[in-house]
Chain A
Amino acid sequence: MFRRARRPSPGWLVLPPLLALAIALPWAAEALGTPASTGLATRMAIYAIAASALNLVLGYGGMVSFGHAAFFGLGGYTVGILYAHWSWQEPLWGFIPGTTSLPVTLLAAMAVGGAGAALIGALSLRTRGVQFIMITLAFAQMLFFLFVSLKAYGGDDGLSVRRQGEFPGLNLRDAAQLYWLCLSLLVAWLLLLWRVTRSRFGQVLSGARQSERRLQALGIAPYPYKLAAFILSGMGAALAGALMANYARFVSPDMLAWTKSGELMIMVILGGVGTLMGPVLGAIALVGLEYWLAALTEHWQFVLGPLLIAVVLFARGGLMALLRRPGAPGRAQA
């Protein structure tokens, strides 16, 4: 029922050269005299992690979360708050020492994101459909206003992370090295997702999307699987948020705003729901579009808005569908 025959698609052959290109990007940017492209590519890689994380619940699990910015923001604020306590020389709650060590902050961010997702997911997954969309939004909004009201961590104005995180063997002040770090984390995250979605766990998850009743008839309770996927997804989004805090050296409640959740959703839909590389493509496309349109006109959103509508109306299945069957209308989404 869940199992369908998979033949190796020609798409896989494209990936190694693409990866080589991505690795070579900072040198190319240097050679072409556009060093800013490295930063742009870093942002794309970070958002690709966040969008793929959302895609795990949204695309594979059929859970339309409209609050994933919450986990993105939790990850960012974990880095920001640990830095703040490091700089104040004052442990958080009296016993958690602050730090700027990147491996520690990244793991801490994922732990916090995972814990947040466990809490929000455990409650939200009792609802479904539109109610699920709205309750995830509600929790994200609660966290948004919580961080707005925390004056100790900057409140509305946000929190500057003045010291770059330290990663053994790397100098992250160098834009290229930060980019390579983000790129390798993206690749590792995608490999993990690839394994997960093809495992028994992934099959159950996709079975839950198609029909929970059928799954229950087979003797499998979908709730624990959906919750586990939600937690994993929250950890991925938090990882992305932590990287963003390191890249931008700044965290603010904007990271948790509902528009950020919307943007992540757009990346997933734009790229292709329920595909491994779709969200990556979507992130590249949206971040890239914003960058190029913003360079052209101050009113770039006036162009981007109708463009998004056109994608929904005329390119179903997103960019992945266009790539799979050029010229043909995309496959219907589940």
Chain B
Amino acid sequence: MVLLLEQLLNGLQLGVMLFLLAAGLTLVFGIMGVINLAHGSLYMVGAFAAAWVAAQTGSALLAVPAGLAAAALAGMAVELLVLRRLYARDHLDQVLATFGLILFFNQGAILLFGRQPLFVDIPEGLRGAVEIIPGVPYPAYRLAILAVGLLVAAGLYGLIRHTRTGMLVRAGATHREMVRALGVDVRKLYTLVFGLGALLAGLAGLMAGPIFSVQVGMGEQILIMTFVVVVIGGIGSVRGALAGALLVGLVDTLLRAYLPALLRGAMQGPDADALAAGLASMGVYLLMALVLLLRPRGLFPAHA
């Protein structure tokens, strides 16, 4: 019971991390029609910038703005220099160009920081554990991630539902051509959305630092999961991204936690562990295939 509660929280925490990435990706996808494989690179940029500043200054308070700024600046630079020219192109060109960006960012990170993973300490005030219910301690840092993720989700909801910019974002996701035809400066909107997405990716990256190691390739691992989330949720829908992220986070975490024990009932220990790890990794893709076959446009389709 206690284990289940911990695993559920772990799943939710992975879910909100995925949400931070998926929110930006789904908007870029839905509004600009761009498949941005380099979104994971922005996550990596945020993580490296924060890790480096934290190592240099020893201050988590400085690391946070550094990570956010680095990711947002990298994102806007990418949008201005490369992606802006790709909006009218087909998905193939976008995949190729953003694949090129991944190579560039990964090698750039190797040039600057080397191949060794960087390790980041958990900030001073968040090192301990909190008893969520009496007798069940849970790491404070992971709870903080969960809180930040949910706050951002609420903030995004407010931004998209109740502001003028949010109205344009929603309109852009459902009726792209019409927004353009009504004389809205879509280029400004695009840069804004892309910058926001990059900022959220950077936030996810800098929070991931103390949990996972900060290394080259970290972006691609989570990028593919993020695509799964976006497709499950419905492209262009932030609500769908939240639902999809929590679902994927829970499914992945629970499979990893319980599948080995289940399989060990039927097979040898090490073999069962290896097979369980593989099956658990397959789980979210199976989920995505099922969702796509039953509801090809995702759970919350944005394009009505």
A contact set with B: CB distance below 8 Å: 58, 64, 66, 123, 126-127, 129-131, 133-135, 137-139, 141-142, 145-146, 148-151, 155, 258-259, 262, 265-266, 269-270, 273, 299-302, 304-309, 311-313, 316, 333
Closest-by-CB residue of B relative to A304 is B103
The docked-state distance in angstroms from the alpha carbon of A124 to that of B3 is: 37
The docked-state distance in angstroms from the alpha carbon of A155 to that of B274 is: 8
- The interface bits of chain B over 95-125 (1 if a CB of A lies within 8 angstroms of the residue's CB, else 0) are 1110111111111101100000000000000
Q: Least Cβ distance of A54 to chain B in Å?
A: 11
Contact (A307, B228) CB under 8 Å given A130-B35, A262-B95, A301-B107: no
- The interface bits of chain B over 201-235 (1 if a CB of A lies within 8 angstroms of the residue's CB, else 0) are 00000000000000000001000100110010001
5 A-B pairs within 8 Å (CB atoms) are namely A130-B231, A131-B292, A146-B282, A270-B96, A302-B108
Contact call B274/A262, Cβ cutoff below 8 A: no
Residues of chain B from 78 to 98 with CB closer than 8 A to chain A in the complex: 82, 85-86, 89-93, 95-97
Contact call A137/B93, Cβ cutoff below 8 A: no
- Of B90, B103, B293, the residue contacting A126 (CB under 8 A) is B293
Q: Which residues of B contact A262 (CB under 8 A)?
A: 37, 95, 99
Contact call A127/B279, Cβ cutoff below 8 A: no
Q: Least Cβ distance of B141 to chain A in Å?
A: 29
Contact call A312/B275, Cβ cutoff below 8 A: no
Is B145 among interface residues, defined by CB-CB distance under 8 A?
A: no
Is B297 among interface residues, defined by CB-CB distance under 8 A?
A: yes
Q: Which residues of A contact B93 (CB under 8 A)?
A: 269, 312, 316, 333
B interface majority secondary structure? helix
- Of A58, A150, A151, A312, the residue contacting B270 (CB under 8 A) is A151
Contact call B92/A304, Cβ cutoff below 8 A: no
- Of A135, A312, A316, the residue contacting B100 (CB under 8 A) is A312
Contact call B289/A305, Cβ cutoff below 8 A: no
The docked-state distance in angstroms from the alpha carbon of A151 to that of B279 is: 13
Contact call B224/A258, Cβ cutoff below 8 A: yes
- Of B97, B101, B275, B297, the residue contacting A131 (CB under 8 A) is B297
Q: Which residues of B contact A301 (CB under 8 A)?
A: 103-104, 106-107
Q: Least Cβ distance of A210 to chain B in Å?
A: 13
Contact call B35/A133, Cβ cutoff below 8 A: yes
Contact call B285/A138, Cβ cutoff below 8 A: yes
Contact call A313/B97, Cβ cutoff below 8 A: yes
Q: Which residues of B contact A135 (CB under 8 A)?
A: 231, 288-289, 292
Q: Which residues of A contact B92 (CB under 8 A)?
A: 58, 64, 265, 269, 273, 333
Contact call B227/A149, Cβ cutoff below 8 A: no
Contact call B274/A141, Cβ cutoff below 8 A: no
Closest-by-CB residue of B relative to A126 is B293
Q: Least Cβ distance of B96 to chain A in Å?
A: 5
The docked-state distance in angstroms from the alpha carbon of A148 to that of B273 is: 12
Q: Which residues of A contact B91 (CB under 8 A)?
A: 64, 129-130, 133
Contact call A312/B97, Cβ cutoff below 8 A: yes
- Of B103, B106, B224, B271, the residue contacting A141 (CB under 8 A) is B224
Contact call A302/B274, Cβ cutoff below 8 A: no
Contact call B296/A309, Cβ cutoff below 8 A: no
The docked-state distance in angstroms from the alpha carbon of A64 to that of B100 is: 18
Contact call A146/B278, Cβ cutoff below 8 A: yes
Closest-by-CB residue of A relative to B298 is A131
Q: Which residues of A contact B285 (CB under 8 A)?
A: 138-139, 141-142, 145
Closest-by-CB residue of B relative to A152 is B271
Is B140 among interface residues, defined by CB-CB distance under 8 A?
A: no
Q: Which residues of A contact B293 (CB under 8 A)?
A: 123, 126-127
Q: Which residues of A contact B297 (CB under 8 A)?
A: 131
Contact call A313/B82, Cβ cutoff below 8 A: yes
Closest-by-CB residue of A relative to B81 is A309
Q: Least Cβ distance of A64 to chain B in Å?
A: 6
The docked-state distance in angstroms from the alpha carbon of A307 to that of B40 is: 20
Q: Which residues of B contact A307 (CB under 8 A)?
A: 100
Q: Least Cβ distance of B132 to chain A in Å?
A: 32
18 additional A-B pairs beyond A131-B292, A265-B92, beta carbons within 8 Å, are A123-B289, A127-B296, A130-B35, A131-B231, A134-B292, A142-B282, A142-B285, A142-B286, A146-B282, A148-B278, A149-B276, A149-B278, A259-B220, A299-B110, A302-B111, A305-B100, A308-B96, A333-B93
Contact call B278/A308, Cβ cutoff below 8 A: no
Q: Least Cβ distance of A241 to chain B in Å?
A: 20
Q: Which residues of A contact B138 (CB under 8 A)?
A: none
Q: Which residues of A contact B227 (CB under 8 A)?
A: 134, 137
The docked-state distance in angstroms from the alpha carbon of A259 to that of B231 is: 19
Q: Which residues of B contact A300 (CB under 8 A)?
A: 107
Is B29 among interface residues, defined by CB-CB distance under 8 A?
A: yes
Q: Which residues of A contact B275 (CB under 8 A)?
A: 149-151
Q: Which residues of B contact A305 (CB under 8 A)?
A: 100-105, 107
Contact call B107/A302, Cβ cutoff below 8 A: yes
Q: Which residues of A contact B174 (CB under 8 A)?
A: none
Is B277 among interface residues, defined by CB-CB distance under 8 A?
A: yes
Q: Which residues of A contact B108 (CB under 8 A)?
A: 302
Contact call A308/B103, Cβ cutoff below 8 A: yes
Is B281 among interface residues, defined by CB-CB distance under 8 A?
A: yes
Closest-by-CB residue of A relative to B85 is A313
The docked-state distance in angstroms from the alpha carbon of A312 to that of B220 is: 21
